[in-house]
Amino acid sequence: MAMDIYHLAKSFPKDELYSLISQIRKSSRSVCSNIAEGYRKRQYPAHFVSKISDADMENSETQVWIDFAFHCKYINEQTQKDLLNKSTEAGKLLNYMIENPEKYLRKNIKPVSDSLGIDT
């Protein structure tokens, strides 16, 4: 999705370079980079969940910029729907990771609830 947005934003008006273009590219790329950071820190359950939560937040921000691009008539309705569907699917996967971090943690690592002292 981030690469789709990158290429699509090339067609946006040049006066959007430092506003919509940079914002939508930044937020869509942040989804990927936060996942990568979280994955590399998966030996720390709370940090993993925090970074995946950040990725989810950036994914939601990307949806807002997609809507702006549509309402500014920079993308058509089908493109908006396609991008929002991809973003929604990514959001579902991210939420699954947040709710089930133990599936992604390195072996021999306690779940977040254990590290936070929460009884489950």
pTM value is 0.85
Predicted local distance difference test score (pLDDT) of residue 21: 96
Render pLDDT for 62-71 as a digit per residue (tens, 0 to 9).
Answer: 999 999 999 9
Q: What one-character-per-residue DSSP string does the chain give?
A: -HHHHHHHHTTS-GGGIIIIIHHHHHHHHHHHHHHHHHHHTTTSHHHHHHHHHHHHHHHHHHHHHHHHHHHTTSS-HHHHHHHHHHHHHHHHHHHHHHH-GGGTSPTT---HHHHTT---
Torsions phi, psi for 37 (to 5 deg) = -60, -45
Predicted local distance difference test score (pLDDT) of residue 28: 97
Predicted local distance difference test score (pLDDT) of residue 106: 83
Predicted local distance difference test score (pLDDT) of residue 117: 62
Predicted local distance difference test score (pLDDT) of residue 116: 60
Tens of pLDDT, residue by residue, the chain (120 residues): 999 999 999 999 999 999 999 999 999 999 999 999 999 999 999 999 999 999 999 999 999 999 999 999 999 999 999 999 999 999 999 999 999 999 999 876 565 566 566 665
* All structural domains of the chain: 2-102 (1.20.1440.60)
Predicted local distance difference test score (pLDDT) of residue 111: 59
Are 80 and 70 within 8 A, CB to CB? yes
Predicted local distance difference test score (pLDDT) of residue 112: 58
